[in-house]
Amino acid sequence: MSLLITSPATVAAAATHLAGIGSALSTANAAAAAPTTALSVAGADEVSVLIAALFEAYAQEYQALSAQALAFHDQFVQALNMGAVCYAAAETANATPLQALQTVQQNVLTVVNAPTQALLGRPIIGNGANGLPNTGQDGGPGGLLFGNGGNGGSGGVDQAGGNGGAAGLIGNGGSGGVGGPGIAGSAGGAGGAGGLLFGNGGPGGAGGIGTTGDGGPGGAGGNAIGLFGSGGTGGMGGVGGMGGVGNGGLGGVFGDGGAGGTGGLGDVNGGLAGIGGNAGFVGNGGAGGNGQLGSGAVSSAGGMGGNGGLVFGNGGPGGLGGPGTSAGNGGMGGNAVGLFGQGGAGGAGGSGFGAGIPVGRGGDGGSGGLIGDGGTGGGAGAGDAAASAGGNGGNARLIGNGGDGGPGMFGGPGGAGGSGGTIFGFAGTPGPS
């Protein structure tokens, strides 16, 4: 069935248009009445008189029917106008209770939040206030019972970004503010902590731009300090001489670690990549951040993956090495430190630019849990370059297979396979050269 969408204004406009049509028809009928209802007889004979009388009768019947049609038309226009009035009144009646309900709700929250707002500077229910731009102001804390932390304000010139506000019992931490620009960029703000029961840590803010010096380091991701929640992602390093790093936040009791931030783009060396956050009891480690291009000497290595949960969880994968004239190595995979879990895969090495430029080595895979396989080693970077090795596979511990080694490039050796578990397991396959 097709839908009908209208509004009081549309109905009223249609009624006005129909009224205009009725007025035009009434004028036309009045103009036609005189010449059609009183015809001149063509001759003095009986036939001419009868013909004139017949047409006059038709004209009179037409005028009578037209009067009835116009009366019905007027009634229809009046009904449309009344419908538009009733429709508008109904909409007003519907909106008024909703506005009243919202006002009551806001008044109740104001009364409920007043004591803790006065004593502790935070509400019981509600989100924290955001920091103002270009001030580096911290985000306000979320409600003690429910609410997200406020976002940190961005930093002004030579000013760090504000930290994200922490949540209370249930809620996510606020995002860290972006670091301000300067000769050397300022640091991004750290993400706020998640709620004590449920909530994710906030992401860290990006580092500020360095005009001639180093870029600012990215802010650390907020921790998930409660039962359920993942750590926040670390902030990206700022653009500059050597961009900084933002590590991922820690996972909650049940939650993954946050990913590490990407290193900053460097005029000389690429900025360091962030390390992935560790999980809590159950959860996967965060991925390591990717290395970044260095326009001058050295590109940065990928960040190490975070460790898996203490009971169950996989290690996070290592970050990719940064490309460049001296490419960065891939990051190491995180370890599965608990009872069950796979080691994280090593990150691939960075690609080299130009003939004879060395490429990055692959990162080593992380070790498995008490029961679990080791991670696969990362492959060497691509390019038209000298030989480069692949990463080694991660080792298993009690039960599990070792990870396969990563492939080498340009005749470089492949990574060694990881060892199998001491109770049961097979060694990993060495990577091809």
Residue at 209 is within a domain: no
Residue at 117 is within a domain: no
- Contact call for residues 280 and 254 (beta carbons, < 8 A): yes
Query: Cα-Cα-Cα-Cα dihedral of 125, 126, 129, 130, to 10°?
Result: 140
- Contact call for residues 149 and 164 (beta carbons, < 8 A): yes
Which of 99, 117, 140 is the C-terminal boundary of a domain? 99
Task: Give the position of tokens 């809620």.
Answer: 171
Burial class (CB in 10 A: 0-12, 13-18, 19+), 194: buried
Residue at 152 is within a domain: no
Q: How many CA atoms, within 13 angstroms, populate the side-chain half-sphere of residue 104?
A: 6
Q: How many CB atoms lie within 10 A of CB 384?
A: 13
Task: Say how far apart CA 426 and CA 396 lie, in whole Å.
Answer: 9
Q: Which two tokens stand for residue 431?
A: 């990577």
Task: Say how far apart CA 314 and CA 142 lie, in whole Å.
Answer: 32
Residue at 393 is within a domain: yes
Task: Give the position of tokens 């390093």.
Answer: 237
Residue 112's pLDDT is 74
Residue 144's pLDDT is 87
Mean pLDDT by 10 residues, the chain (433 residues): 62 76 78 73 75 78 81 78 73 63 71 78 87 94 90 94 93 93 88 90 88 80 86 76 60 74 58 77 87 63 88 91 77 93 91 68 93 93 75 96 92 92 95 89
Residue at 313 is within a domain: yes
Residue 191's pLDDT is 93
Residue 60's pLDDT is 80
In terms of Cα–Cα distance, which of 27, 25, 22 is closest to 76?
Answer: 22
Per the DSSP assignment, residues forming a β-bridge with 409 are: 388
Burial class (CB in 10 A: 0-12, 13-18, 19+), 319: buried
- Contact call for residues 264 and 270 (beta carbons, < 8 A): yes
CATH code (residue 90) = 1.10.287.850
Which of 64, 99, 134 is the C-terminal boundary of a domain? 99
Which of 79, 99, 119 is the C-terminal boundary of a domain? 99
Residue at 173 is within a domain: no
Domain count, the chain: 2
- Contact call for residues 338 and 369 (beta carbons, < 8 A): yes
Task: Give the position of tokens 């340009």.
Answer: 410
**Residue 213 contacts by C-beta under 8 Å, 6 or more apart in sequence?**
182, 183, 184, 185, 240, 241
Task: Say how far apart CA 137 and CA 186 lie, in whole Å.
Answer: 14
| H or E segment and range at residue 98 | helix 46-120
Residue at 153 is within a domain: no
Residue 74: domain span:
8-99
